[in-house]
Structure 1
Amino acid sequence: MTTQHVLQGRILSGNGWLDGTITLGADGRIAAIDGRLASGRAVERYILPGFIDLHVHGGGGVDIMEGGRAAEAVARLHAQHGTTAMLATTMTAPMDEIENVLAALGPCCRQRTPGTARLLGVHLEGPYINPGKLGAQPDDACRAVLSQIDKLGQLAPIALLTLAPEIPGHMEIIRALSDAGIRVQIGHTLGSYEDGVQALQQGAAGFTHLFNAMSGLHHREPGMVGAALAHAEYAELIPDLLHVHPGAIRTALRAIPRLYCVTDSTAAAGMPDGEYKLGSHAVTKCMGGVRLADGTLAGSTLTMDQALRNLLAIGLPLAEASHRLSLYPADYLGHADRGRLEAGAWADVLVLDDALNLLDVYLEGEHLVVSDV
């Protein structure tokens, strides 16, 4: 049962940094924030909104595609690292496997299990991608059909859907998907700059793991990366400092106003080096990354608390880094009561020390004891 909590520290409010207290109500929402504009004195505790991760394949040795209650185990691991809400992300697979996974995800999205991040829905990363740009996705790509997507959406809420717009028939259905409340992202694509611009005009809203698994930027052929840098309001990016060079991250930060960060984490997140599953693939964790046997990057081991520290390491101020891990992904999905600290919002709250180590996590007001993970 949720109880009231009063937390004290330097609070990232909607009005900037405040030194004061934040009261978490027994209803799981923020009751009040009281304080004054932050001074220059030393900080012992930072209080930030919980992280929102829109691209999560696994964690703690478990993969979303295992079905059953796998998503709960994944959401439990990531909650330990400050993720208070997330999207369960699928892999390309035969359609019967995707249906089985979504049938298992449906109840998990409707009811949050104590100690786990809230599942805001599904990110359907496959199978509607270009078979020539699979990245680490299995070779089961197929064309998108509205009736099939509607059937999947009846099993579990689809919040995001990644597709390659250059595949015949895909450009024409982007508007229908967007009108149905699904955020369409461009990814795993060999499409041109022109394809990207047209897809955005049709209603596509963002780009899946910007720079990775898409046609790159060249000054005479700007590619899908060029379309994103020139026209996108939102795009997701993996800041593990392996998938994207810090210089490219900073380029994207200057070009895309509400660039937000994801982990694209796999079962290997929070686990020792070794072999793990990523959909139907076997992947190996070593040297801080996850790869297929041929060396292809296959998701990450990243957690959102480390993503925060990585963003600061490349020069972002703490408030901006927080926005790109909490506020912007919440706004992207239209959740005005998450990703921010203000009265009435969900009490998804993080307490960190002055070195940005996670001390406490509150999940809709539920106090989570953070393990030494």
Structure 2
Amino acid sequence: METNVSVAEHIALAGARLVLPVGVVEGDRLAVEGSRIAAITSGGTEPGDLDLTGYTVVPGFVDLHVHGGGGASYASGIAEEALRAARTHLEHGTTTTIASTVTGEIDEVARQAAVLSELVEDGVLAGIHFEGPFISPGRCGAHRADLLRDPDPALVRKLVDAARGHARMVTLAPELPGGLDSVRMLADLGVIAAVGHTDSDYPTTLEAIDAGATVATHLFNAMPAIAHRAPGPIVALLEDERVTVELINDGVHLHPSVLGLAYGTAGASRVALITDAMGAAGMGDGLYPLGPLQVQVKDGVAMLPDGSSIAGSTLTLDRAFQRSVQVDNLTLNQAAESLSTTPARLLGLADSIGTLEIGKLADLVVVDSGTLDLVAVMRHGRWVLGDEKFAVVRPV
């Protein structure tokens, strides 16, 4: 995970466009010392170790919901595969990753959680997200229906305990038996309860939010559509300021106008752009595992082989950032907020990541200011991706 393009105790970046919490500034100087941002200064003429004129620097991306990448799956229960998946997304700008599991036998998912917990303790991952098996059979998508379970609090607690304190989020359908009780339990444990893969109606979704649910798992997908007399879960989740809504902005899961609706209602401060990526992210077309299922990827779109359901995505967050600005007309600040600031705050990590500010970890993504193509990635003050421009640095 920590194979570096370069390592430097001190480095100053000059000339770049910086996307800061206060807005976008041109030509400011950002200094890194060790793993932290040491200074952000403006108006000076002192050169930096790297002249990044023509480039834009944004905070490292935070992915709340990702199943794999680089041909590897977090649900494999194999540490080497998890490392490969994390590395793939790191090289696409995701400096903080939550590993998502997929529906399987309870004991098998618990075993996977134990393996992933070791990687959280090693600093590779930031936590574990359990997506399934506590979801609706009618909205299960790319989850094996025969392995689904009602969200009995005892079973939910078994998975949370298997994560050894590193469970960050559990997706469940609150209308199922035990659903609301499990939401309350998760809230008491400090684990995010997310509403998703659900057939819940509007009143039940409101009950779940009042019980402590604070996230909508890939809003609009795997849940009933909005009807004028039956608004369903989408409206309940969108209208409540306590809820952060996940969106998959890959051009497949959502029409741009639907994404615009979510932003117009919730705003960037309540939208977290996610990948929901499976093992094909960063790879080509072909057949890939997703938990106990096989997924066919054609032209970059992941589907169950019978064509019955989208099966995650092949998205990476650098592409989501680029699309959000170029296609959906978000501002740089809105895109950075949804890709970094909002998910960092949701995870309780806003003191150390999510924005470019003095004292925070030097998690940086450098993109070309014109094309917004990814150029370089820094994690904890270390370059992990970049061309020869980033290979040699000198002390400040």
TM-score interval for Structure 1 and Structure 2 normalised by the shorter chain: over 0.9
For 1:167, what is the secondary structure of its paired residue?
coil
Q: How many residue pairs end up in the alignment? A: 362
Does the CA contact (< 8 Å) of 2:106 and 2:159 recur in 1?
A: no
> In 2, Cα distance between the equivalents of 1:83 and 1:2?
21
User: What residue number does 2:41 align with?
Assistant: 34
Give the TM-score normalised by the residue count of structure 1: 0.93
The aligned runs of 1:319-358 (5 Å cut-off) are: 319-336=333-350, 337-354=352-369, 355-358=371-374
The answer to whether residue 139 in structure 2 is matched with residue 123 in structure 1 is: no
Of 193, 217, 222 in structure 2, the residue corresponding to residue 213 of structure 1 is 222
Deviation at 1:56, TM superposition (A): 0.6
> In 2, Cα distance between the equivalents of 1:155 and 1:73?
22
> In 1, Cα distance between the equivalents of 2:33 and 2:246?
32
For 2:306, what is the secondary structure of its paired residue?
coil
The answer to whether residue 91 in structure 2 is matched with residue 80 in structure 1 is: yes
User: What residue number does 1:15 align with?
Assistant: 22
The answer to whether residue 248 in structure 2 is matched with residue 238 in structure 1 is: yes
Does the CA contact (< 8 Å) of 2:156 and 2:182 recur in 1?
A: no
Does the CA contact (< 8 Å) of 2:201 and 2:233 recur in 1?
A: yes
Point out the more displaced range, 187-196 or 11-20.
Answer: 11-20
Give the TM-score normalised by the residue count of structure 2: 0.88
User: What residue number does 1:256 align with?
Assistant: 266
For 1:132, what is the secondary structure of its paired residue?
helix
The answer to whether residue 330 in structure 2 is matched with residue 316 in structure 1 is: yes
Return closer, same or farther for 1:319/1:269 CA change in 2, 3 Å cut-off.
same
Deviation at 1:226, TM superposition (A): 1.9
> In 2, Cα distance between the equivalents of 1:103 and 1:360?
32
Amino acid corresponding to residue 300 of structure 1 in structure 2 = S
> In 1, Cα distance between the equivalents of 2:318 and 2:160?
31
Does the CA contact (< 8 Å) of 1:49 and 1:349 recur in 2?
A: yes
The aligned runs of 1:283-294 (5 Å cut-off) are: 283-294=295-306
CA-to-partner distance for each residue in 1:242-277, whole Å, 9 max, x for gaps?
A: 101111110111111311110000101111111111
> In 2, Cα distance between the equivalents of 1:133 and 1:144?
15
Give 4+ residue runs of structure 1 displaced > 4 Å after superposition: none
Deviation at 1:36, TM superposition (A): 4.9
Unaligned segments of structure 2, at least 5 residues:
1-6, 45-51, 388-396
CA-to-partner distance for each residue in 1:268-292, whole Å, 9 max, x for gaps?
A: 1111111111111111111221000
Provide the aligned C-alpha RMSD in A: 1.8
Amino acid corresponding to residue 176 of structure 1 in structure 2 = M
The answer to whether residue 178 in structure 2 is matched with residue 169 in structure 1 is: yes
> In 2, Cα distance between the equivalents of 1:65 and 1:301?
16
Point out the more displaced range, 349-358 or 243-252.
Answer: 349-358
- Percent identity, please: 38
Unaligned segments of structure 1, at least 5 residues:
113-117
For 1:108, what is the secondary structure of its paired residue?
helix
Point out the more displaced range, 131-140 or 54-63.
Answer: 131-140
> In 2, Cα distance between the equivalents of 1:234 and 1:256?
8
Return closer, same or farther for 1:274/1:176 CA change in 2, 3 Å cut-off.
same
> In 1, Cα distance between the equivalents of 2:341 and 2:313?
22
